[in-house]
Amino acid sequence: MNKTEFIQDLGVIVGSKNDIYFIIQYDAKKRLNTLQINVGDEENGAFLDFLSGYRDFHPGIGSRIEFQGNISRLYIPLDFSQIDQENELDQILEAITLELATRRYIQRCGVSGRTDNLAIYRLDNNVEILNAEVYNQRVRDFEENRNSGSERSPLAYLGALGGVLLGMALWVIVGLIGFIVGIIGAVMILSGIKGYQMFGGKKSKQSIIIIAIMSILGIILAEYISISISYYQAIDGLIPFQYILFDIMPTLIQDPEIIRIMLFDISFGILLSLLSTWSLIKEEIKSVENPTIYYEVYRDVDTSHQF
């Protein structure tokens, strides 16, 4: 039976024709829609000639296709501005899948290459053609990763601190070169989260907020160190750096004018960091609060049948 389904929140079309599964989804990198079919065992390569000739009738089909890896994921660009989706899309799908079936292409799992027990599955925001056992294993792997680690592991927060310190070092280096360093705040938060997870931390809303606060404190300290280094360079190293850092700077920042300048620089840096990372923080929190969606979207093909 030929049928299509629409996954509304992803804007993805899935289905089957001529016993071949297909997925139509938007490729953000290429900024176009693609028709994906996992196939293998082509007889003679003549399908590419067919597709080239078929474009004379439907110029909205891309002039090139891609075969990715050993699985032969077939990606055909579709320009919907040149395709009547209501009347022409079904004709295009029928012609392409019929040609693949006639030329004895064989469907394959997009991960393992297996040809048995296939279906279209959703794994969070990805939609793939997979073997059922491969899908179940990926779900188990996700559940193990989600349930592993501790939200309050001191070692994990030490890992986060290491990531923040790495971001601080980058902040100081880039600041001394003379570039605006606000965007480094994003690196600081990312490296903090990565360090937290590498040391066994279980990502949660609380841990993400704590790492964000650690990063803001890291920005303040990094700016303090950066100014201290600038002062050290201005006097050509006549005074030991540690003396500047622990004795002179605490005295200097008591001056109202110095405080005003430092507060402006730090506030500007934090503002830029928050602006550049706010969407990241929201996405990280959203990924924790919202359970990952995974389910079988579509199964219609007798995958035991080989052409």
3-state secondary structure of 185: helix
Tell me: pLDDT of 121 over 70. Answer: yes
Average pLDDT over residues 268-288: 73
Which band of pLDDT confidence, cut at 50, 70 and 90, is reported for residue 119? very high
Give the torsion sign (CA, 146, 150, 152, 158): negative
Which band of pLDDT confidence, cut at 50, 70 and 90, is reported for residue 1? very low
Which band of pLDDT confidence, cut at 50, 70 and 90, is reported for residue 69? low
The first and second tokens of residue 186, run together, are 């994003």
Tell me: pLDDT of 181 over 70. Answer: no
Give the Cβ contact number of residue 84 at 10 Å.
Answer: 13
H or E segment and range at residue 49: helix 46-54
User: Strand (E) positions, the chain?
Assistant: 3-7, 12-17, 20-27, 32-40, 66-68, 73-78, 106-107, 118-123, 126-131, 294-298
Tell me: pLDDT of 262 over 70. Answer: yes
What is the rounded distance in angstroms from the CA atom of residue 108 to the CA atom of residue 74?
Answer: 11
Average pLDDT over residues 234-250: 86
Beta bridge partners of 75: 36, 66
Strands lying side by side in the sheet with 294-298: 126-131, 118-123, 294-298
What is the rounded distance in angstroms from the CA atom of residue 152 to the CA atom of residue 191?
Answer: 18
256 or 130: whose pLDDT is higher? 130
The first and second tokens of residue 161, run together, are 């601190």
Tell me: pLDDT of 172 over 90. Answer: no
Mean pLDDT of the chain: 81
pLDDT digits (tens, 9 = 90+) for 290-303: 556 788 888 876 54
Query: What is the per-residue pLDDT for 304?
Result: 46
Average pLDDT over residues 60-72: 71
What is the rounded distance in angstroms from the CA atom of residue 252 to the CA atom of residue 260?
Answer: 12
Identify the weakest region by mean pLDDT among 52-56, 69-73, 124-128.
69-73
Average pLDDT over residues 200-210: 80
Give burial (CB, 10 Å; 0-12/13-18/19+) of 148.
Answer: exposed
Which band of pLDDT confidence, cut at 50, 70 and 90, is reported for residue 205? confident
Query: What is the per-residue pLDDT for 125?
Result: 81
The first and second tokens of residue 76, run together, are 């055909």
Query: What is the per-residue pLDDT for 41?
Result: 57
CB of 170 closer than 8 Å to CB of 187: yes
Percent of the chain having pLDDT more than 70? 85
What is the rounded distance in angstroms from the CA atom of residue 95 to the CA atom of residue 91?
Answer: 6
Q: Which amino acid is at 295?
A: Y
Predicted TM-score of the model (pTM): 0.57
Which residues does 265 contact at the CB level (< 8 Å), separation at least 6? 223, 227
The first and second tokens of residue 82, run together, are 């040149």
What is the rounded distance in angstroms from the CA atom of residue 90 to the CA atom of residue 86?
Answer: 8
